[in-house]
Amino acid sequence: MLINKKYLVIFKDKNNDIKVLSNNDKLFKEILKFKNIIIYMYGSTTFSMDKFKDKSIVDSLLFDKNNCILIPIFDYKNRPSYKNPDSLSNYKKVLDLRLFELNTTTDMLVDEYDESFTLFGNSEGGVPVLLFEKHSSYLRGKIIVSYSCESNYYYSLDNKDLHHNKDIPLLNILGLDDEYFGLDSFLNKNSSVLGNSSKTFKLFNYSKIVLLSNTKHSLFENNMVFFEIKNFLDYLNMINN
C-alpha cells in the first residue's frame, strides 16, 4: 500500500551549482516548466542522493543547464522484495510497483504541466522504462543502462510487451562483464541470453546498443558511459527542436 509519494527535481542554477528541490518547494513547478525533464528510475537499492552524486550521473545529465532530473520516490507499507535468484513472480511484484511509479509520474507531467520528458532507467529501473508505453507524443527518448533488454532471469520478455511506438529513440548501455545481465552471469545460467539487446532493438527504428569492455554492473565507474549519454541527449535535442 502506498503511504507517501515524493518527487525530487535536480538542476543547475545560474552559477552552475547543483540544486535539489522537492515537490513541496514553491519553485518545483517553475523548474519543471522551463527545463528538459529527464525522469530517473533508480535501481533496486534505496535511493541515496549522496550515492547518486558520487556516481556522477548528475553531471552526465546536467551538462546542459536546460536539463533537469526528476526522481519519483514512493514509500509503501509492506513493500514486496526479492533476493537473487528468486522466482519471476516475486520479481514481477516489484516490477508492477515500479511501472506504477513511472506511469503516475508521467501522468502528472502530461496532465498537470503538459510537458515532454526523457526516460532514464538504471538496472531494475530499466525494466519499467523499456516496457513503458504511455504518452508517446510526449516521450522524447529512452536511456537504459546496466540492464540487457532481453529475456533473462529477472523478466521473461515477449515481443508483445513492445508493441508501443517504434519510432521512440532508445539507448542501451551495458558492461560486457555485468554480473547480473551479462552473457556469463551465473543468474542467467538457465536463460539463453546474449548479454545485449540486439534481438529486441531490431523492433525499433532508432536504437543504439553500447557494450563496454572490462565493465561490470557498476557501469558509471567507466567514464565512457557519460560520453554516450551526452551524445544521445544532444541527439534528442536536435530532433525535437
The 3-class SS string of 166-222 reads CCCCEEEEEECCCCCCCCCCHHHCCCCCCCCCHHHHCCCCCEEEEEECCCCCCHHHC
**What's the CATH architecture for 2-240?**
3-Layer(aba) Sandwich (3.40)
pLDDT 10s digit of each residue in the chain, 241 long? 889 999 999 998 889 888 999 999 989 988 988 889 999 999 987 788 877 776 678 888 998 889 999 999 999 998 899 999 899 999 999 999 999 999 999 999 999 999 999 999 999 999 999 999 899 999 999 999 999 999 999 998 876 777 667 899 999 999 999 999 998 899 988 888 888 888 888 888 999 999 999 999 999 889 999 999 999 999 999 998 7
What is the pTM for the complete model shown?
0.95
Instruction: Measure the CA angle with vertex 16, ends 114 and 122; round to 5°.
Output: 60
pLDDT at position 159 is 66
Whole-angstrom CA distances from 41 to 26, 58, 95, 167 are 24, 13, 12, 22
pLDDT at position 153 is 92
pLDDT at position 54 is 65
pLDDT at position 158 is 77
Yes or no: say if 145 and 219 are a contact pair by the CB < 8 Å rule: yes
Ordered by start, the domain boundaries in the chain are 2-240
Read off φ and ψ for residue 183, nearest 5 degrees. Answer: -60, -35
